[in-house]
Amino acid sequence: FDALGTFRRGRIWLAPAPTADLLQRQRRVVDAVVATGADLHKHYRPDVWMPHCTLSPRTRLTDLPRLAAAIYDVLPVAAVVDAAALVDSRTGERYALRIIP
Q: How many helices (H) and strands (E) does the chain have?
A: 2, 5
- Count the domains in the chain: 1
Report pTM: 0.71
Q: What is the pLDDT along the chain (101 residues), one digit of tens a residue?
A: 999 999 988 899 999 988 898 888 888 888 888 888 888 888 888 888 888 888 988 999 999 999 999 999 999 999 888 888 878 878 989 988 776 66
Q: Which domain holds residue 78?
A: 3-97
Taking the C-alpha atoms of residue 12 and residue 4, their distance in angstroms, rounded to an integer, is 7
